[in-house]
Amino acid sequence: MKILFYNGSLRMGGAEKILVEVLNGLNKNNKDVDLLISDNVKNENFFEKDLPKEVKLNYLISSDLIEKTKFYKSKKKNIFYKLMYNYYMKKEQDEKTENLKKFLKEKEYDVVVDFDMGLSKNIDLVNGRKKIAWIHSPIDSWYKKPDKIKRLGERLKKYDILVTICDDMKERTEKLYPFLKEKLVRIYNPFDIEKIERLSEELLEIKEDKIGLLKEKYIISVGRLDNYSKDYYTLLKGFKNIKSKGMKEKLYILGEGEERPLIEGWIRELELEKEVVLLGKYKNPYPWIKNAKAFAHSSRFEGLPTVLIESLICGVPVISSDCPTGPREILKDGEVGILYKVGDSKGLESGLLDILNNDKLYQKYVKLSLDRAKDFCKESSLKEIEGILNGYKG
């Protein structure tokens, strides 16, 4: 069976991590797998070395072009740089399309898996008997204009199967596109629970001057430094409130992104410089999660937030915004963790205080977390994925 997987990058991210998990978990005995990645981003391709050796990897956009685009993007408040940024964005799209045509010339696949829907504009170029797209987050959260939502729906008609990663997302997608109902299937992301448990004890990536931070009492949050989707201002306000009530825990934020300066500014504004630590990026976040007192999540929207499930696996109680989609489903309507209204710093504060001040409740959530994590084991998800690759929907 000849299979093509496509994804935008191999940077450090939830979808990329799951892609690697899927590729490593597939039965390779009867499969010839190509992996097509859009962006070659040099040292940021964190997951490249974790790919199985049987998978043949190709990139579409050169690292030099990506660096030029990134440079002009960083200065695009200036009208000249904005024009140059738009020019290089167009060059990237042209290079992607041209290299895609070259790569696909005379190639025919049994199955094409568009893992981030990044092929949707060019899906007609791909010769595949079956075409599958993965939907990782609610479409109406990242496409606001009705005409864009409509155009995407027309492109999604060209796929045979559309995988959503939680039930709520499946229902939202069906409501958005009733004509796609028969193509939709829900498959949870696969998690290698034993691997995560093992990595949570591995400290090799943590430099000596940071080891001491693991011994502190702290709350952890993990995610890209992007306030639009992750709403770090609500997280910081909620944390400021619990500090005013005498709580000793610090807040660690693990992740990186272009809005680091904005978030650093809020930390200074709220006088939290000694209480909040921006850890940066770690390929292995699990020791930081494992040693935390609680996991705080403040997103405005998600898909199926990987970090919440990883926290459950590590036995760390979760306090999460009740955002679309995923947290309510993962936490079983608040039975397994605490949910609060999106943007409600007081709700976040209350949830953190409940867990941190009540040891009996804390231990209850630790046990519930570990029990719930078993529902996301990789074996059942990979069985369903093998099923749709081999010819039937799960």
* 183 and 201 together in one domain: no
Q: What was the pLDDT predicted at 302?
A: 87
- Are both 177 and 62 inside the same structural domain? yes
pLDDT band, residue 67 (cuts 50/70/90): very high
Q: How many CB atoms lie within 10 A of CB 353?
A: 16
C-beta of residue 8 within 8 angstroms of C-beta of residue 38: yes
- pLDDT at site 267: 97
Q: Which residue from 205, 271, 207, 264 is spatially nearest to 232, judged by alpha carbons?
A: 264
Residue 59 has pLDDT above 70, yes or no: yes
Q: What confidence tens digit (pLDDT) does each residue in 72-109 have?
A: 998 888 899 999 999 999 999 999 999 999 999 989 99
Q: Note the pLDDT of residue 27.
A: 87
Query: Does the model's pTM come out above 0.75?
Result: yes
Backbone angles phi, psi at 377, to 5 degrees: -65, 150
Question: Is residue 139 domain-shared with residue 77, that is, in the same domain?
Answer: yes
Contacts of 82 (CB under 8 A, 6+ apart): 72, 76
- Note whether 282 and 368 are same-domain residues: yes
Q: What percent of the chain is modeled with pLDDT above 70?
A: 99
Same domain membership, residue 260 and residue 177: no
96 and 109, same domain (yes or no): yes
Domain count, the chain: 2
**Domain co-membership, 91 together with 207:** no
Could you tell me if 147 and 234 lie in one domain? Answer: no
Q: What is the pLDDT of residues 22-52, one digit of tens each?
A: 999 998 888 999 999 999 988 889 899 999 9
Q: Tens digits of per-residue pLDDT, 251-264?
A: 999 999 889 999 99
Together in a domain, 226 and 372? yes
Query: Which domain covers residue 222, as residue numbers?
Result: 193-376
pLDDT attached to residue 43: 81
Assess whether 44 and 78 both reside in one domain: yes
Bridge partners, residue 220, by sequence: 252, 295
Instruction: Look at residue 245 in the predicted model and tell me its pLDDT.
Output: 92
| CA 52 vs CA 19, 81, 190, 235, 265: distances in Å | 11, 40, 16, 38, 42
pLDDT in tens, 325-344: 899 999 999 999 999 999 99
- Amino acid identity, residue 59? Y
Backbone torsion region of residue 391, taken as left when φ is above 0, otherwise alpha when ψ lies between -120 and 50, otherwise beta? left
State the CATH number of the domain containing residue 263.
Answer: 3.40.50.2000
Residues 153 and 208 in one domain: no
> Which pLDDT score is estimated for 336?
97
Mean pLDDT of the chain: 93
What are the φ and ψ backbone dihedral angles of 287, each rounded to 5 degrees? -60, -35
Same domain, 132 and 199: no
Per-residue pLDDT at 14: 81
* 128-156 confidence digits (pLDDT tens): 999 999 999 889 877 878 999 999 999 99
**Please, what is the angle between helix 359-373 and helix 345-357, to 10°?**
100
CB 230, CB 348: distance < 8 Å: no
